[in-house]
Amino acid sequence: MVLAPILWTLYIGLTDERASRRDTSLVGLDNYTYLLQNEGFRHSLWNTVVITVIVVALTNVLGLGIALMLRKRGWLYSLLRGLYFTPVILSAVVVSVIGRSILADKGLLNSTLVSLGVQNPPGWLTDPSYAIYSVAGIMVWQMLGFAVVVYLAGISGIPVELEEAASLDGAGPWQQFRAITWPMVAPALTINTVMLMISSFKVYDQIAVLTNGGPGTDGTATVAFDVVRTAFLEQRPGVASAMAGIMLLVVAAASVTTLKLLQRREVNL
C-alpha cells in the first residue's frame, strides 16, 4: 500500500504523460533535467527550504521554552497547555483562514497598527519581503502545540532527584538546564525536528489559502504547491510526478541524515 503508489509515481515521472493526449512514452530523466534547469522550480525548492528551516528552528525553540514554563501542575497550567494545543487539532485550512483574517492588508493586525499611528503597515501576505515569513509564522503557530506536548513529555521523564541534587550543589537555573534538562530532552528534540521537517517540506494547504503561491507568480510557491498546480492545472502529470520524486528524495535524505545525527547526539549525551 505504501510502495506501489511511490513506484508508480516514480515511473510516471520518467514519461511524457499529459492529460491532453493518450499516447505516452518513456523519456528517461528528461523531466528531472528540465526541472533542475527550471528557475521556477528551483525558486519553489528554495521557498520550501526557507519555510522548513524557519518552522523547525522557531517551533523547537519556542516549544521548549513554553514547555519549561508549563511544566508545573495546576488548573491554570493545564488550561494553558490545552490552549497551546488547540491549533494542532484544527485543519490547516481553518488555521490558514484565521491567519489570513489577521494578516490581510486590512486585517486585524494592520488595523491595530493603524490605530497605533502606523501610516503604512506592511503587506504581510502581498509584499514579497514578508509573505514567505508570514506563511512560516502561521505554520509555527499551528505546530507549536505539538512541540510543546512532546517536550513536556520529555521533561516529565526527568528524575526529580537529579534536579534536587543539582540545587543542593548550588547549580542555578541555567546550569540545571544545560547539564540536566537539555541532555534529557534529546529524544524529544529528535522527534520534533524530524516531524516538523517532514510536515514543513510538504506544505500545500497554507500556501493555497494564504497566498495561492503569490505575491507574483511564484512568490511563496513550494514544491508541493507546484506539484498540484502542474498536475491538475497545467495537466502535466509526468512533470508533476518528477517533482514529487525529487521532493521524496530530498525529504528522505534530509530525514535520515537528521535522524542519525540527532540519535548519535542522544547516545553521546
Residue 50, SS3 per DSSP: helix
DSSP output for 94-120: HHHHHHHHHHSTTSHHHHHHHHTT-SS
pLDDT digits (tens, 9 = 90+) for 74-84: 888 889 888 88
Proportion of the chain above pLDDT 90, given as a percent: 71
pLDDT digits (tens, 9 = 90+) for 115-147: 999 989 999 999 989 999 999 999 999 999 999
pLDDT for the residue 166: 85
Would you say residue 269 has pLDDT above 70?
no
What does the buried/exposed string (b/e) look like for 187-216 if buried means 16 or more CB atoms within 10 Å of the residue's CB? bbbbbbbbbbbebbbbbbbbbbbbbebbbe
Would you say residue 100 has pLDDT above 80?
yes
Read off the pLDDT band of 32 (50, 70, 90): very high
Question: Looking at domain 3-268, what is its CATH homologous superfamily?
Answer: MetI-like (1.10.3720.10)
Q: Please report, as a single letter, which amino acid is at residue 42.
A: R
pLDDT for the residue 143: 96
Would you say residue 27 has pLDDT above 80?
yes
For residue 41, the tally of other CB atoms under 10 A from its CB is: 21
Q: Where are the domains of the chain?
A: 3-268
Would you say residue 70 has pLDDT above 70?
yes
pTM for this model (two decimals): 0.93
